[in-house]
Structure 1
Amino acid sequence: MTARSTRRRLLAAGAVFASGALLLVGCGDQTDDAGDDGKETESSSSSSSGTAKSPADLLPQKIKNAGVIEVGSDIAYPPVEFKQGGKVVGIDPDLAAALGEELGVKFEFTNGKFDSLLTGLRAERFDIVMSAMSDTKNRQDGTDPETGKKVSDGVDFVDYFTAGVSLYTVKGNPDGIKGWDDLCGKKIVVQRQTVSHDQAKAKSKECEDKGKKKISIEAHSTDIDAQTRLRGGGADAGSSDYPVAAYAVQKSGGGNHFELIGEQELAGPYGIAVSKDDTELRDALKAALEELIKNGEYQKIIDKWEVPEGAVSEVKINGGS
Structure 2
Amino acid sequence: MTARSTRRTTAAHSRLAAVGAIAVAGALLLTGCGDQTENGDSGGSDTQSAGGAPLADKLPQSIRDKGTIKVGSDIAYAPVEFKDDSGKTVGIDPDLADALGKQLGVKFEFENGTFDTLITGLRSKRYDIAMSAMTDTKDRQEGIDGDTGKKVGQGVDFVDYFTAGVSIYTKKGDDQGIKTWSDLCGKKLVVQRGTVSEDLAKAENEKCPAGKKISMQPFDNDQQAQTRLRAGGADAGSSDFPVAAYAVKTSGGGKDFELVGEQVEAAPYGIAVAKDNTQLRDALKAALDAVIANGEYKKIMDKWGVSEGAITEATVNGGK
TM range (shorter): 0.7 to 0.9
Deviation, structure 1 residue 146 = 2.1
Q: Per-residue deviation at 1:197?
A: 1.0
CA distance, structure 1, for counterparts of residue 175 and residue 159 of structure 2: 41
Alpha-carbon distance, 1:187 to partner: 1.2
CA–CA separation in structure 2 for the residues paired with 1:314 and 1:206? 38
Letter of the 2:77 partner, please give it. Answer: Y
Alpha-carbon distance, 1:152 to partner: 1.3
**How many pairs were matched up?**
273
Give the aligned partner of residue 142 of structure 2.
Answer: 141
Alignment of 1:194-209 (within 5 A): 194-208=195-209
2-structure distance, mates of 1:23, 1:215? 56
Residue in structure 1 matched with residue 239 of structure 2 by the alignment:
240
1:147 Cα deviation (Å)?
2.0
Deviations 1:261-298 (A, max 9, x none): 11110000000000000000000000000000000000
Q: Which residue of 1 aligns with 2:104?
A: 103
Structure 2 CA distance, aligned partners of 1:24 and 1:306? Answer: 30
Deviation at 1:217, TM superposition (A): 1.2
Q: Is 1:265 matched up with 2:293?
A: no
Structure 2 counterpart SS, 1:109: strand
Residues in 1 aligned to 2:193 and 2:149: alpha-carbon distance in whole angstroms = 18
Corresponding residue of 1:77: 77
Q: Distance in 2 between matches of 1:179 and 1:308?
A: 25
SS at match of 2:207: helix
Amino acid of the residue matched to residue 128 of structure 2?
D
- Aligned mates of 1:212, 1:290 — CA distance in 2: 51
Deviating runs (4+, > 6 A) in structure 1?
none
Cα distance in structure 2, aligned partners of 1:130 and 1:268: 15
CA distance in 1, matches of 2:283, 2:208: 45
Structure 2 CA distance for aligned equivalents of residues 23 and 158 of structure 1: 25
2:91 corresponding residue in structure 1: 90
Task: State the distance in 1 between where 2:291 and 2:312 align.
Answer: 10
Change (3 A) 1:269 1:132: same
2:298 is equivalent to residue 310 of structure 1: no
Partner of 1:296: 295
Deviation at 1:174, TM superposition (A): 4.5
Residue 163 in structure 1 maps to residue 156 in structure 2: no
The farther-off stretch of 173-182 and 226-235 is: 173-182
For residues 76-127 of structure 1, what are the alpha-carbon distances to aligned partners after superposition, in whole Å with 9 as ceiling and x for unaligned? Answer: 1000000002110000000001100000000000001111111111111110
1:251 — aligned with what?
250
How many Å separate the matches in 1 of 2:206 and 2:136? 23
Distance across 2 between alignment mates of 1:174 and 1:134: 28
Pairwise CA distance, 1:234: 1.0
* Contact 2:171–2:229 (8 Å) recurs in 1: yes
Deviation sequence 1:13-47 (CA, Å, 0-9, x none): xx9xx9xx626622xxxxxxxxxxxxxxxxxxxxx
Superposition deviation, residue 166 in structure 1: 0.2
Where do 5+ consecutive residues of structure 2 fail to align?
1-46
Asked whether the equivalents of residues 158 and 286 of structure 1 are also in contact (C-alpha less than 8 Å), the reply is yes
1:173 positional shift: 2.3
How many angstroms apart in 1 are the aligned matches of 2:275 and 2:51? 24
Aligned to 1:228, the other structure's residue is in SS state helix
Q: Distance in 1 between matches of 2:242 and 2:198?
A: 16
With 144-153 and 75-84 compared, the bigger mean Cα shift is at 144-153
Cα distance in 2 for partners of 1:133, 1:174 equals 28
RMSD value over aligned CA atoms? 1.4
Q: Partners in 2 of 1:23 and 1:159 — Cα distance?
A: 27
**Runs of 5+ consecutive residues of structure 1 not aligned to the other structure:** 1-14, 27-54
Matches within 5 A, 1:116-131: 116-131=117-132
Cα distance, 1:258 vs. partner?
0.3
CA distance in 2 between partners of 1:309 and 1:190 (Å): 24
Q: Secondary structure at the match of 1:188?
A: strand
Q: What is the distance in 1 between the residues matched to 2:200 and 2:309?
A: 20
1:57 partner amino acid: D
- For the residues of structure 1 that align with 2:201 and 2:130, how far apart are their CA atoms? 24
Alpha-carbon distance in 2 for matches of 1:196, 1:138 = 16
Q: Distance in 1 between matches of 2:52 and 2:301?
A: 27
- What is aligned with 2:319? 320
1:212 & 1:161 partners in 2: Cα distance? 39
Distance in 1 between the 2:313 and 2:208 partners? Answer: 38
Of the structure 1 ranges 68-77 and 141-150, higher mean CA displacement relative to structure 2 is found in 141-150
3-state SS in 2 of match to 1:234: coil
Q: What is the SS of the residue equivalent to 1:207?
A: coil
Percent identity of the aligned residues? 66
Task: Give the corresponding residue for 1:61.
Answer: 61
8 Å contact from structure 1 (residues 184, 212) kept in 2: no
Partners of 1:296 and 1:136 in 2: CA distance: 28
Match for residue 26 of structure 2?
Answer: none
